[in-house]
Chains A and B, each alone.
With several copies, the nearest count.
Chain A
Amino acid sequence: MTATAERQMELTLPMIPDIEIAAARAAGNLARELGMASESIDEMAHAMIEACINAREHSGSADKRIYVKIAGASLSEGNSRIDIWISDRGRGFDVTEARTRRQKLGSVHKRGWGLQIIEAHMDEVSIETSTDGTTIHMVKYGRRSE
């Protein structure tokens, strides 16, 4: 599969209530232009919402900003790929520890589902985190909407 069209967008958003919607909507517009099916766009939107909320609620970043990068490519046969990076300059966290904590709770916990939702809705997810901040990189593959 060779990329035939590329679209890119970088956003710097304030950590205010509901700003996650702005990130999701911007990515949705770009994905629609690439012909991604609406259900895939909706999954991607819900993953982005969780990632932005984590940045706002947990990062403790001093600059109170969320950095969003969206890169979309049309692949052959009407397929597309969207890469999304959501970053904060906060304190970071221990991903293994967070996963263990979640497993210990079993299925009864009310909170602590954000990362699982992100993983369920996206095709690839990786997290880079240190005391300088956190970046979550997520990939969604799309088929042309009919």
Chain B
Amino acid sequence: MTDELRVALDRRNPTGAVLFTKGYINNVGGEEIANRAYELMDDGVRSLLLNLRETKIVNSIGISILIEIIEKMIDKGGKIGFCCLTPVIHKTFQIMGLANYASIYTDEETALREMGL
């Protein structure tokens, strides 16, 4: 019933990576993404794309954890991007102001190019 979150990694280069998410981004799902993101940041990644293609449901607690990831990355001088959001998730990101801190791309190809990945 829940669509438990799963994360997959595409490590593009020493400073860049893509994380693919599948399932519900709630508190548990958000923490899972954060753990993977912080591991990558510790390992030198400064350009991180989150591809949410297979995530159809989010909640505001999960998104607040994504905001924390963005803040930590900005502190390190890096950047976070998002791509492949459903219309409703895109709208939720806009309400919660994520577009102010992170770039949102419609498709992965554009995201990879613009982020130099």
Identify the A interface with B (CB < 8 A).
Answer: 16-22, 24-25, 39, 42-43, 45-46, 49-50, 53, 107, 110-111, 113-114, 116-117, 120-121
Question: Chain B's nearest CB lies how many Å from the CB of A75?
Answer: 23
Please, which residue of chain A has its CB at the minimum distance from the CB of B91?
Answer: A120
20 contacts between A and B (CB under 8 A): A17-B28, A18-B1, A21-B24, A25-B1, A39-B87, A42-B87, A43-B88, A46-B57, A46-B58, A49-B59, A50-B60, A107-B100, A110-B64, A111-B64, A113-B60, A113-B63, A113-B64, A113-B95, A117-B92, A121-B88
Q: Are B1 and A53 in contact (CB under 8 A)?
A: no
Residues of B contacting A49 with CB < 8 Å?
57, 59
Residues of A contacting B3 with CB < 8 Å?
21
Q: How far is the CA of A18 from the CA of B56 in the complex (A)?
A: 14
Question: Chain B's nearest CB lies how many Å from the CB of A37?
Answer: 11
Q: How far is the CA of A16 from the CA of B1 in the complex (A)?
A: 8
Q: Are A50 and B59 in contact (CB under 8 A)?
A: yes
Residues of A contacting B97 with CB < 8 Å?
107
Contact of B60 among A19, A24, A45, A114 (CB under 8 A): A114
The answer to whether the Cβ of B107 comes within 8 Å of any Cβ in the partner chain is no
Identify the B interface with A (CB < 8 A).
Answer: 1-3, 24, 26, 28, 56-61, 63-64, 67-68, 86-88, 91-92, 95-97, 100
Question: Chain A's nearest CB lies how many Å from the CB of B67?
Answer: 5
Interface of chain A, main secondary structure: helix
Q: How far is the CA of A20 from the CA of B58 in the complex (A)?
A: 11
Residues of A contacting B87 with CB < 8 Å?
39, 42
Contact of A22 among B1, B28, B56, B59 (CB under 8 A): B1
Q: How far is the CA of A140 from the CA of B107 in the complex (A)?
A: 29
Please, which residue of chain B has its CB at the minimum distance from the CB of A45?
Answer: B57
Question: Chain A's nearest CB lies how many Å from the CB of B26?
Answer: 7
Q: How far is the CA of A141 from the CA of B52 in the complex (A)?
A: 28
Residues of B contacting A42 with CB < 8 Å?
56, 86-88
Residues of B contacting A18 with CB < 8 Å?
1-2, 24, 26
Most buried by A among B24, B59, B68: B59
Please, which residue of chain B has its CB at the minimum distance from the CB of A41?
Answer: B88
Contact A110:B68 (CB < 8 A) given known A18-B24, A42-B87, A46-B88: yes
Q: Are B91 and A121 in contact (CB under 8 A)?
A: yes
Please, which residue of chain B has its CB at the minimum distance from the CB of A106?
Answer: B97
